[in-house]
Chain A
Amino acid sequence: MSETEMTGEAIIEVTELTKKYGDLTAVDCVSFTVRRGEIFAFLGPNGAGKTTTIKMLTTLLAPTGGAIRLNGYDPVREQDAVRRSFGIVFQDPSLDNELTAYENMVFHAVLFRIPPQLRKERIKALLELVQLWERKDEQVKKFSGGMKRRLEIARGLLHLPQILFLDEPTLGLDPQTRHLLWEHIRELNKKEQITVFLTTHIMEEAERVAGTVAVIDHGKIIDQGSPGALAERTGTASLEEAFLALTGKAIREEEPESANIMLKRMFRGRW
Chain B
Amino acid sequence: MSVIYILWLRQMKRYFRSRARIIGALGQPLLYLFALGFGFGAVFERAGEGNYLQFLVPGIIAMSILFTSMFNGLEIIWDRQFGFLKETLVAPVSRVQIMLGRTLGGATVAVFQGMIILAISFLIGFRLANPLAMPAALVFMFLIATLFTALGTAIASLLDDMQGFQLIMNFLVMPLFFLSGALFPLKDLPVAVSVIVRLNPLSYGVDGLRGALIGLFQLGIWANFAVLAASSLILVMIGAYLFSKIQV
Contacts and interface: CB of A to CB of B under 8 A. Distances in A.
Contacts of A90: 83, 86-87
Interface in A146-173: none
Interface in A216-243: none
Contact of A60 (B3, B6, B93, B247): B247
Nearest to B248: A60
B84 interface: yes
A125 interface: no
B241 to A, nearest CB: 14
Interface string B101-136: 000000000000000000000000000000000000
A94 B14 contact: no
B83 A93 contact: yes
Contacts of B89: 59-60
For the complex of A and B, list the 5 residue pairs with the smallest distance between their C-beta atoms, beginning with the closest. Answer: A94-B83, A111-B91, A84-B92, A83-B92, A110-B6
B10 A96 contact: yes
B3 A98 contact: no
Interface residues of B, number: 23
Nearest to B94: A80
B187 interface: no
Given A55-B248, A62-B247, A94 B86 contact: yes
Main secondary structure of the interface of A (DSSP, over half): loop
Interface of B: 2-3, 5-6, 10, 13-14, 17-18, 82-84, 86-94, 247-248
Interface of A: 55, 58-62, 80, 83-84, 86, 88, 90, 92-99, 103, 106-108, 110-113, 139
A111 B83 contact: no
A99 B14 CA distance: 7
Contact of B84 (A61, A83, A96): A96
Main secondary structure of the interface of B (DSSP, over half): helix
A98 B6 contact: no
Given A55-B248, A61-B248, A110-B3, A98 B86 contact: no
Contacts of B83: 90, 92-95
B6 A88 contact: no
B91 A97 contact: no
A112 B89 CA distance: 12
Given A61-B247, A80-B94, A111-B93, A94 B17 contact: no
18 contacts: A60-B86, A60-B90, A83-B90, A83-B93, A84-B92, A86-B90, A88-B90, A94-B86, A95-B83, A98-B17, A103-B10, A103-B13, A107-B10, A107-B87, A110-B2, A111-B3, A111-B91, A112-B92
A139 B16 CA distance: 14
B185 to A, nearest CB: 42
Given A94-B87, A103-B13, A107-B10, A113 B247 contact: no
Contacts of A94: 83-84, 86-87
B227 to A, nearest CB: 35
A110 B7 CA distance: 10
A80 B3 CA distance: 15
